Chain A
Amino acid sequence: SQTIHQWPATLVQPVGSPLSLECTVEGTSNPNLYWYRQAAGRGLQLLFYSVGIGQISSEVPQNLSASRPQDRQFILSSKKLLLSDSGFYLCAWSGPRAGAETQYFGPGTRLLVL
């Protein structure tokens, strides 16, 4: 069966510091991968998605970037965090073929920028 991991679970960072959040998927190959942000009391905002290694599409211009160095690894980064980067970050995957319409989510990372 497939599983998706995110770490860290919680992170407190000062403004201006760098960020690296990691997401890995097990039990599948060539998944589509997604990063979402959920601000307090609000819905989900798609930040980035990737259909393959090195292929990143950005949905919203912002202070963040994403990379996919390996097939089942997706990284969210920032060089200098802003207060507005605080939120709950969710990684998700979907299959490349059958069942590709369904996304499955990781446990999330709670980021607080102070």
Chain B
Amino acid sequence: AQSVTQLGSHVSVSEGALVLLRCNYSSSVPPYLFWYVQYPNQGLQLLLKYTSAATLVKGINGFEAEFKKSETSFHLTKPSAHMSDAAEYFCAVSDLYSSASKIIFGSGTRLSIRP
């Protein structure tokens, strides 16, 4: 069975500082991995996804994530935080072998940006 663990339910960084949101996964098959962002009272927006091509994946809004098989990690980073990055971030793994490509979501990390 696949699973995702997000370390830290709340992360706070200063504007301009490095953003690092941690995600570890468990999967018995090569995974597809995702990061989604959710702004208040909105749906989830796809930030980036890993589908077994390049291990360093670049997404929207300056975010990127690196797939590390040896560490079973898929951490999300951004070199310089902006106030508009304040949101909830979800790491997820796709169970492509199920009948409907279900996605297993982590519990989310709320990112706050200090002025």
Contacts and interface: CB of A to CB of B under 8 A. Distances in A.
Interface residues of B, number: 23
Given A32-B100, A51-B99, A51-B100, A102 B44 contact: no
Nearest to A9: B41
Interface string A72-114: 0000000000000000101010100000111111111010000
Q: Specify which of A51, A103, A106 lies most central, judged by the most chain B CB atoms within 10 Å of its CB.
A: A103
Contacts of A106: 43
A107 B90 contact: no
Interface stretch (A12-20, A41-49, A61-69): A41-49
Interface of B: 32, 34, 36, 41-46, 49, 51, 90, 94, 96, 99-103, 105-108
Contacts of B103: 103
A29 interface: no
Contacts of B101: 32, 94, 100-101, 103
Contacts of B51: 101
B90 A44 contact: yes
Nearest to A45: B105
19 contacts: A32-B101, A43-B106, A44-B44, A44-B90, A51-B99, A51-B100, A57-B100, A88-B41, A94-B100, A101-B49, A101-B51, A104-B46, A105-B36, A105-B44, A105-B45, A107-B42, A107-B43, A108-B42, A110-B41
Contacts of A88: 41
Given A43-B107, A101-B51, A49 B43 contact: no
A102 B102 contact: no
A44 B34 CA distance: 14
Contacts of A90: 43-44
Interface centre among B34, B42, B51 (most CB of A within 10 A): B42
Contacts of A51: 99-100
A67 to B, nearest CB: 16
A46 B34 contact: no
